Amino acid sequence: MTEYLLIESRSPAESGDVAHGYALAAALAGQGDRVTLFLVQNGVLCVRRGARAEGLESAIRAGVTVLADDFSLRERGIPADRLAAQVAPAPLEAVIDRLAAGVKTLWN
């Protein structure tokens, strides 16, 4: 099993590429790899409860861990208790931790 960290800094409303990133995360998790999707900057907008993000729920169902940068959430006025289920706020240190551990990391 390989561990991956995928970073997404854009909202699905900004680019169709974002959905491809979610799909990649789901596919990797589906083949048994351990995948974390770290959302930062406008990437966190789609994890507000009730927001639509095509493909993100599928990724979560496939076993992808979804983290949202706590600083980006605060910048955008999104409180932690307004996040969608199965999405957790996390500090940016989570990215450095995984880089330092040798996790394969891709900024979509």
Partner 1 sequence: MQTRTLTFVLMDAPFESARTTTAMRLLDIAARRGYQLNVFAYEGAVGLTFARQAAHPNAAHGRDVHEENHPLPRDWISALMESASRNGGALRWVNCGLCVDERGVGEAIAGAARGSPTDLWQLAEQSDNTLVIATK
Burial of 85 (0-12, 13-18, 19+ CB in 10 A): exposed
Shortest spacing between CB 88 and partner 1, in angstroms: 19
Structure tokens at 12: 């699905």
Would you count residue 17 as binding partner 1 (CB under 8 A)? yes
**Looking only at residues 42 through 101 of this chain, which bind partner 1 when binding is defined by CB under 8 A?**
42, 71, 92-93, 95-96, 99-100
Q: How many residues bind partner 1 (CB under 8 A)?
A: 19
Nearer Cβ to partner 1 (49/76): 76
* 15 is an interface residue for partner 1 by CB under 8 A: yes
* Ordered alpha helix ranges (H), the chain: 17-30, 56-61, 70-75, 93-100
Rounded distance between C-alpha atoms, residue 7 and residue 65, angstroms: 12
Site for partner 1 in 31-50 (CB under 8 A): 40-42
Cβ neighbors of 53 (< 8 A, separation 6 or more) are 12, 22, 46, 47
- Among 19, 27, 51, 103, the residue binding partner 1 under the rule CB under 8 A is 103
Site for partner 1, rule CB under 8 A: 9-10, 15, 17, 40-42, 71, 92-93, 95-96, 99-100, 102-103, 105-107
